[in-house]
Amino acid sequence: MRAIILAAGMGLRLVQPEGQQKPKCLLRFGDVSLLERHLQLLKAAGVGEIVFVLGFKHEMVEAELDSIDWKPSTEVVVNSEFSLGSVLSVHTAAEALTRGGDVLLMDADVLYDERVLDPLVANPQAHINRLLIDRDFEAGDEPVKLCIDNGVPVELRKQVVAGLKFDTIGESVGFFRFDERAARRLAEIVADYVATGRANLPHEEAVRDLLQERSQTFDIADVTGAPWIEIDFQNDVKRAADEVLPQLNQLAGVLR
């Protein structure tokens, strides 16, 4: 199993001191960067093949990787047009996406408990497609909503289409597992986005297309109750430090 971690963006919505901007994966909580937390949690879960998609100030991230001196070494691919959407980052990682075997596609800017990762790495030989849902979320325009009808994902978007039929709604954690066939199809969809001038879109749009064409079967893992937060705004940094990190420190895990 391989993890592809998207860490190319500029994080423009996160206000940082002038001249001190850095990739969000380098934010530190409990004196451990988000980047290193990903590495530790994936290692504990048995995922040793890790690919980082970098862009904005990628040298800083590569320096952090060097300082950690992680073994086995992680792969790095660089999206030079990182100011565009994350669709382009996924396209940049197309070779890793289509190399074979199951793939985890993960946002880098998430502080999370190992219980969020557990459903994605379960049964590594099973070759499955899996989405994560948190039913305890704050309504609004920001969360990417995952809507399910009778066990089938029917929507993955910030704005839910009016009149859509579903029986369950929650927030998508932003981590996905794809089997080899689904990963190759996602790579094709993403390539079409880039070829048709839609590289500025978030990669969830391509995943949404994959879900809605129903060419693959996806199951849903409910991680409601497990602490996690995606860090987009300055208030998220405060919540991560004041609310989420203390919960992680109280739970058995690989990091304290």
Give pLDDT < 70 ranges for the chain: 11-20, 251-256
- Domains of the chain in start order, with CATH, are 2-11+22-250 (3.90.550.10)
Per the structure block, which two tokens stand in for 226? 């497990």
- Is the peptide bond between 72 and the residue preceding it cis, with omega within 30 degrees of 0? yes
pLDDT in tens, 131-188: 999 999 988 888 999 999 999 999 999 999 889 999 999 999 999 999 999 999 999 9
pLDDT in tens, 93-104: 999 999 999 999
What DSSP string describes 32-94?
EEHHHHHHHHHHHTT--EEEEEE-TTHHHHHHHHHHHT-SSPPEEEE-TTTTS-HHHHHHHTH
How far apart are the C-alpha atoms of 77 and 102, rounded to whole Å? 19
End-to-end CA distance of the chain: 26
